Chains A and B, each alone.
Chain A
Amino acid sequence: MNYSRTANISRFVLLLLAIVFVCMVTVTGIYIDDDTQLKGIFEEGTIRLGLDLAGGSVVTFQAKTEDTGLDLESGMDSVYTVMRDRLDGQGLTEALCYLTGDDMITIEIPDIEDPNEAIANFMQTAKLQFKDKNGKVVIEGEHIESAVGGNFQVSEGKYEYAVSLTLTAEGAKKFAAATKTAAATKDAIGIYIDGQMISQPTVNEEITDGQAIITGNFTYESALALANNINAGAFRYELIPVEQRTVGATLGEDSLSTSLFAGAIGVLLVLIFMSIYYKVPGIMASIALVAYVGIFGLVLVIFGTNLTLAGIAGIFLSIGMAVDANVVIFERVKEEIDLGKSAKAAVKAGFKRAFSAILDSNVTTIIACAVLYFLGSGTIKGFASTLFIGIVISLFTALVITKVLLNLCIGMGITEPKKYRSLGRRAK
């Protein structure tokens, strides 16, 4: 491990350049080709801001059901799947949807002008039934293969917005039988959605091709919405809104930019404090902390984490813990130097002896993160995930990067022990 001084200097510079490169990629993004690219962290749409920051609407529905235990769990899973499909069907792919507690589902829709209208659209329960003249159900939701909304020819030369249905094999058979009976007496078959009649076409002949069309006073949007909701299926339970709120985006933007600004200055002060108090190790820790911020930003960009106020709290806690790991180490280095050790030996011993404290404190925090992530909801989850990401990165930067930098410093000939000793008083 005896590199010459110049080799160490070039390694040191290389590492610094790598850190600068990571930070630059985070800020400006990187473009290789259309499939392989990352956006810069400040570009619009890179980081998904939580509702408390970006503004939008939150709605929570509670399922009305007697189910408990596993039944309720699988029932809510199906509600979730249907809800997700419907949101996507309405083009609300940006909307978040998650289960809350045992029997609730929460939907967060960012940047929305009229939440009530959007909710009305995707909340149509879309329980579809075809009934004969006696009110007997002929076919229903389960017999539908797929639904398409659009402009269809409904009769000779007449086009209208409607929903076209393709039936399953069984549905086609049942529909054929029902239309045969109805056609014999020129009766009508009623089409009901959520128990409400949409149309009541008269049947002129047996329909055997498994195709049916729903007309009514549809607009393009409402035809699409109904088709989507039929495709997504009906909710297993009746859903009752229990929480509904709109958060103004302006408040969010203000609080975000001020916290970012404040955070940046805060981190800068931490760097200054560390560099003055802990001297050479402090400066290296500051470089590692810059790397930490850069890598964290990159992770946020790559995974598109949903950032909330609680998530930002998690980030700050993890910065605190990243610095803490270095503080624990450097206090040890100071003690070793006070024992008369060389800079090299003191740094080595400092890292070694501080390791158990850093390991135990981080493992306990990771345990807390895991529990909060799996048992918590919404706010708690956001906090736990950013804190976890932060801890993993901070362990890397505070232990690995700082150590490599310090060893390179020593290799470059900065070996006077007093440059590695903090300002703290000598222990008795």
Chain B
Amino acid sequence: MSKFHFIKNQKVTLCVVALVILVGLISFFVRGFNIDIDFSGGTEIKIDLGTEVTKEVCDDINDIIRNHEKLGNDYVSSTTQSTDNINMAIIRTGTAALTNEQTLALQDALTAKYTNANVNNVQISTIAPTIGDQLTKTAIIAVAVAIVLMLVYIWIRFEAKSGIAAVLCLAHDLFVIFAAYSLLQIPVNSNIIAALLTILGYSINATIVVFDRVRENKAKAEAGTEFSEVVNTGIHETFGRSVNTTITTLLTIGLIYILGVDSIQQFALPIIIGIVAGLFSSVFMSGMIWNALAKIGKKKESK
């Protein structure tokens, strides 16, 4: 590994990044996102029917909803079996939320047909589409302001170019999370915000440790040393730390994934993927981008 020159081999890194972005984009367009009602709005009813929710049962439920007089004609819904419990049906209506009355009427219709249904195990969520917009808006504003302020801090403590490089790495890691959500069709609910925030913190942390070493080496480097060499040395010197920190973090979050229930797994998986992406971006990308930006600056100066 010590033979690998991170800057001279930057084409390899660029190819990997290009591939990741390509796969991500294709997935965005082809598979799209499995958007939960947190963001899309609508009503979700989880009900324990007391019998296995088969494909036929799902179709029957959709028929009940379509023909229910209180819901208006042809109300479109989708019904699926819960992955936690084979008797649990998850019913989602379109983006229009049901009123309380409509929900209760529907619940009555379902319990009339499925007499084994456990009425004490019904979860109803109703969310207006505006909530999703609000959630997205606050999340985007909060993350954007956080990124700008972190950029300013890195600018003060390091230099502007390293700040930009750190933010680009961060963007890469967050992109990978979105790609994971799309590829694996993980339901996009408010948990995605926590996952993105975790990776935001982790990614910046990882990049800064590398940059700190580059900064130190740069200060004590002999005059005339290529910056790319300084960067390469810094990455190698921090490599042990990068790998070991990833291992220890994966030990905790990985166990949560292995032992956790379904909803926890859906939360842990993107974080695991993001942490691996964070290792990749801090080792392979951060120094490379800083070096590239430094070169651009030099060319302009010499003109």
Contacts and interface: CB of A to CB of B under 8 A. Distances in A.
Interface stretch (A196-204, A368-376, A397-405): A368-376
A192 B255 CA distance: 60
B260 to A, nearest CB: 5
B138 A327 contact: no
B138 A101 contact: yes
B124 A246 contact: yes
Interface in B59-109: 84, 100
Contact of B157 (A104, A321, A360): A360
B108 to A, nearest CB: 15
Interface string B255-295: 11011110110010001000000000000000000000000
Contacts of B215: 356
A361 B255 contact: no
Interface in B1-53: 2, 46
Q: Which of A258, A320, A327, A356 has the most CB of B within 10 A?
A: A320
Interface in A255-296: 255, 258-259, 261-263, 265-267, 269-270, 273-274, 277
Contact of B130 (A242, A245, A309, A310): A242
Contact of A368 (B131, B141, B204, B263): B204
Interface residues of A, number: 74
B240 interface: yes
Contacts of A424: 240
A282 to B, nearest CB: 10
B194 interface: yes
A266 B208 contact: no
B127 interface: yes
Interface stretch (A23-31, A75-83, A311-319): A311-319
A424 B46 CA distance: 51
A379 B193 contact: yes
Contacts of A371: 142, 145-146, 149
B146 A368 contact: yes
Interface string B223-246: 000000000000011101100110
Given A309-B267, A327-B245, A365 B130 contact: no
A324 B248 CA distance: 8
Main secondary structure of the interface of B (DSSP, over half): helix
Contacts of B264: 255, 258-259, 309
Contacts of B216: 353, 356
B124 A367 contact: no
Contacts of A422: 240
A171 to B, nearest CB: 37
Nearest to B130: A242
A116 B205 CA distance: 45
Contact of A266 (B100, B149, B197, B252): B252
Contact of A245 (B125, B134, B252): B125
A380 interface: yes
A115 to B, nearest CB: 9
A319 B264 CA distance: 18
B111 interface: no
A310 B259 contact: no
Interface string A178-193: 0000000000000000
Nearest to A365: B201
B261 A367 contact: no
A7 interface: no
A243 B131 CA distance: 7
A242 B128 contact: yes
A278 to B, nearest CB: 9
Nearest to A102: B134
A243 B127 contact: yes
A170 interface: no
A356 B244 contact: no
B177 interface: no
B153 A363 contact: yes
A364 interface: yes
A314 B271 CA distance: 12
Contact of B252 (A316, A363, A365, A379): A316
6 contacts: A258-B259, A266-B254, A270-B251, A313-B195, A319-B252, A361-B205
Given A266-B252, A369-B201, A383-B198, 5 more contacts: A248-B121, A262-B255, A331-B244, A365-B205, A383-B193
